[in-house]
Structures are given as structure tokens and as C-alpha cells.
Amino acid sequence: MASGLLTMADSATVLSNAALNAPPREGMIVTDELWKTYDMGSEQVHALRGVDITIGKNEYVAIMGPSGSGKSTLMNLIGCLDTPSKGKYWLNNQLVSELDDDELARIRNKEIGFVFQTFNLLARATALHNVELPLIYNGTASDERIERAKGALRKVDLESRMTHKPNELSGGQRQRVAIARALVNDPSIILADEPTGNLDSKTGTEIMALFDNLHSQGNTIILVTHEPDIASYAHRIIHIKDGKVELDEKNPNRRAH
């Protein structure tokens, strides 16, 4: 009898813990009172101050704010590159704010495709090998790796340049390689940090057209930018100021191609 009571008690504890760890709202990305504080000598700097956001599957969101607003810190937390000082973060209903570094690395590789302003490509590797890298890290077999990398390059119209190295590609082509690398694991989210920052305006427009196309295919896209013309492509804009959400609005003037 005691054993049965213990089992019931254990079940109640499990249910109670599950309720505590459940996100407060429905969404692919849910943050609850997210804080990030840095110790700068004797002073504390609050980069984020209690941020609550919810982003659903297949949304196209821009996170905007001036330099020092906290948008890059928020991007690092959403991308599982860092952990909050306080508060909680759920990605696909998993409470990732309490995971250790190894678990965060696994989530990053599986769920998030990163696109950076500086491309972050290996200079001596071909486009194909650069795109393969996330699959090498997760132990995908060679034949499957190559096919998936070719498929990702096909999605960004760059399959014909797969044997070229970065110095043999234009800036726009390098960013396409970086986007293909972000896509190769079929992630839940594409997280793009100032993706047109190193490109001329014509090439930047072409890259934003590519993001539009990826969104139409079902990808969830989050842009981090301080440029209003880049944010204008998103369907929703979250404005960050002094570590807080200042405004979260649907974009009434969205630029379409």
C-alpha cells in the first residue's frame, strides 16, 4: 500500500513539475521575464530587463533597436548562444533556459540556422564544404551530407558554384552560401543578424527576396537589424529599447517583391 501511495505521490510531483515548466503561452519561441545582467567591475549593466515575447511557427519577425538596446543580447538568448540571468525561455515547448552548454549546443545545431553579417565562411573550403559543416558536427554520413548540402545550395540558386571558394564568389553569393548552411539541418528557425550589412543595396534587395521566398516555403525567420528598410520586409516588428520591448506591432507597410 505504501508503495502505491509513493507511486501516486511521485506521479503528482511529475505532473506538478511539468506544469511549472510549461510555457505560459502557445508559441515556437516564448520568453517570460527574461533578464540578462553583466557585471562590469563594481557596476551591473542590465542588457535585458524582463522581456516577454512570443513568436509562432512560420512567422517573419524583425527585432529592431539602436546600438546598445539589447537586441543582440536577445538574439544570443533566442539562438541558445547564451543563457539568461533571470527568467525563462522555451523553444518548441522545451525549457532551454535551464539547459547546460552541451545541451544548448545540441539544440543550436538541430533547431537554429544562423546567418551572420560577416558570412563566417571557411576561406579555404568550397561552398559545398562550408554548407556541409553543421552536418559534419552532428555526425551525418558522408553521402547524405553531400546530397543535403547540394539541396540547400539549390534552394538559394547556387548549386552551379558549389566547388568555388569564398574568394571566388561575390558578396551576395557568399551570403547565399551562408544561408544554405543555415538551411541544411532543416532548422525550426532561421536567425539572421544584419544579413545585408556588408552588401550593396542591390545585392541586399536580392538577399531579402530570398528570405521572402524561404518564408513562403514555411520557414520561421527572425531578422535582427537596426535598419528600417531591412526590417520593413518582415510581417511583424519588435522594437527593443533600453533592454525592454518598447513596441511589438504588425508591419502595415511591409515591402513585398
Per-residue pLDDT of the chain (257 residues; tens, 9 = 90+): 555 555 655 655 555 555 667 898 899 999 999 999 999 889 999 999 999 999 999 999 999 999 889 999 999 999 999 999 999 999 999 999 999 999 999 999 889 999 988 889 999 999 999 999 999 888 899 999 999 999 999 999 999 999 999 999 999 999 999 999 999 999 989 999 999 988 999 999 999 999 999 999 999 999 999 989 999 999 999 999 999 999 999 987 777 65
Q: How far apart are CA 87 and CA 51, in angstroms?
A: 9
Here the cell at position 1 is 500500500
d(CA 70, CA 62) in angstroms, rounded, equals 14
Rounded to whole angstroms, the Cα distance separating 177 from 132 reads 10
Fold of 57-83+101-250: Rossmann fold (3.40.50)
Domain boundaries of the chain, sorted by first residue: 57-83+101-250
95 phi and psi, to 5 degrees? -75, 90
The whole-model pTM stands at 0.86
